[in-house]
Amino acid sequence: MATPTAKRPLRPAKPRDGSDDAAAVRRPLAQASTLPPRYYTEPETYALEVERIFRREWLSIGRVDQVAKPGDFFCTEIFGEPLVAVRDGSQVRVLSRVCRHRGMAVVAGAGNTSSFQCPYHTWTYALDGRLVGAPEMRRAEDFDRAGIRLPEIRSEIWEGWIFVNFDDRAWPLAPALEPLMRAVAPYGLAQFRSTPPLVFDSPWNWKIMVDNFMESYHHLGIHADTLQYFYPASGTYAEDSDGPYAILRNPARPDVEIGTELPQVAGLTDDLQSLLFVAAVFPYHLFAVTPDLLTYYQIEPRTVDHFILRIFVCALPEALDDPARAAALESAREFVNRVHLQDIVACSGVQAGYRSTTARPGRYSHLEKALWQFHRWVLDRLESG
């Protein structure tokens, strides 16, 4: 029986007139409307996303080359979960950083270590999470040191990225991505190595970043003096997709050479040599690849209108090992930075606009098919119960 204290049903609020403006997302693309602005601004919707998306789906937290050597680690925090990825011998593990004593984060930042020692009272954990040291605990009755460990989060390596899943019943990641895997196979993405990330504190909803990344319609406007020159909006197209991913192909202008002075992946077809290949693994794993560069957007959701973005510009190992390539690598990073500074203007503008009482769902261009795929995927998850 419902009581005054009963929890409200967990679903995004509908407009006051009782209509379901989200239903228009599900129409065929040419008739559909975008995800309603309230999905980008309501704390309740974000709470539902945490429960039904972030706690159930595969989330990428970094590149495996960030933990190349035994003992290498890096920390991350996603939707309130402090995590550390660490190479324990040959194995990559992802552990909670929450101390089993009184909750302090046992480690921060990145580096190389043989154990994690909590700075508060020096409880010490092995790289597999086992508690191996806890001083002054001998009078604590039935203190079972051997039974205490940092929780390990399920993880999977895919194409050089570390993905985690908080749901032990979730399907493995790789089989769901087979078509995407076939599409990226010629690039050998796992061979790319990261450079230190460009870090952006991003005061907008995480989906605005995904939306922005997954359409090149905006080359016409925001990127008129950068990407539009190489990859005109009108030639870009998304593939059909029936999995948790989207693929957006951006052919280069035929009269323009793309690429830098950096070494390129060998054996690519002519088509791939003149293509910017863009993809998303839902909910928010974003990457773009050309023959010589892999650009990866790592998102750490914090609240409904805040996430941390790390942009990793990755190149082939021979590029990183060759000092003569440093200038070319730096100018590639500068270009990526310049493009993102343009995107910041757009994303901030959308977040501000979506907070307005006048904001409404808009119509999709055919160039926004990947967004439509993403929005339908989000709705499916939020309505999955």
Q: Under a CB-based contact definition with an 8 Å cutoff, are residues 238 and 183 in contact?
A: no
Taking the least distance from each CB to ligand FES, the nearer of 105 and 209 is 105
Q: At what angle do helices 206-213 and 326-354 cross, to 10 degrees?
A: 120
Taking the least distance from each CB to Fe ion, the nearer of 84 and 222 is 222
Position 343 contacts Fe ion (CB under 5 A): yes
- Give the tokens for residue 144: 């079972």
Position 81 contacts Fe ion (CB under 5 A): no
State the Cα–Cα distance between residues 312 and 296, nearest whole angstrom: 5
Taking the least distance from each CB to Fe ion, the nearer of 99 and 276 is 276
Instruction: Select from 94, 118, 233, 311 the one that contacts ligand FES (CB under 6 A).
Output: 118
Taking the least distance from each CB to ligand FES, the nearer of 104 and 174 is 104
Q: Under a CB-based contact definition with an 8 Å cutoff, are residues 103 and 113 in contact?
A: no
Position 102 contacts ligand FES (CB under 6 A): yes
Position 73 contacts ligand FES (CB under 6 A): no
Helix (H) or strand (E) segment spanning residue 379: helix 369-382
| Total residues at interface with ligand FES (CB under 6 A) | 9
Footprint on residues 123-142 left by ligand FES (CB under 6 A):
123
Instruction: Select from 101, 130, 253, 310 the one that contacts ligand FES (CB under 6 A).
Output: 101
Work out how close the CB of 80 gets to Fe ion at its nearest, in angstroms, rounded to a whole number. Answer: 28
Give the angle subtended at the CA of 325 by the CAs of 275 and 267, to the nearest 5°.
Answer: 40
Work out how close the CB of 75 gets to ligand FES at its nearest, in angstroms, rounded to a whole number. Answer: 15
Task: Name the segment binding ligand FES (CB under 6 A); options: 4-12, 119-127, 147-155, 296-304.
Answer: 119-127
The full DSSP string for 23-76 is: GGGGS-GGG-BPPPGGGGT-HHHHHHHIIIIITTS-EEEEEGGGG-STTEEEEE
Q: How many CB atoms lie within 10 A of CB 40?
A: 23
Position 99 contacts ligand FES (CB under 6 A): yes
115's CB contacts (< 8 A; 6+ apart) are: 124, 125, 126, 127, 132, 133
Taking the least distance from each CB to ligand FES, the nearer of 102 and 366 is 102
Work out how close the CB of 143 gets to ligand FES at its nearest, in angstroms, rounded to a whole number. Answer: 13
Work out how close the CB of 100 gets to ligand FES at its nearest, in angstroms, rounded to a whole number. Answer: 8
State the Cα–Cα distance between residues 247 and 188, nearest whole angstrom: 17
Q: Under a CB-based contact definition with an 8 Å cutoff, are residues 29 and 366 in contact?
A: yes
Q: Is 251 helix (H, G, I), strand (E, B) or coil?
A: strand
Task: Name the segment binding ligand FES (CB under 6 A); options: 97-105, 167-175, 218-226, 323-331.
Answer: 97-105
Binding site for ligand FES (CB under 6 A): 99, 101-104, 118, 120-121, 123
Binding site for Fe ion (CB under 5 A): 343
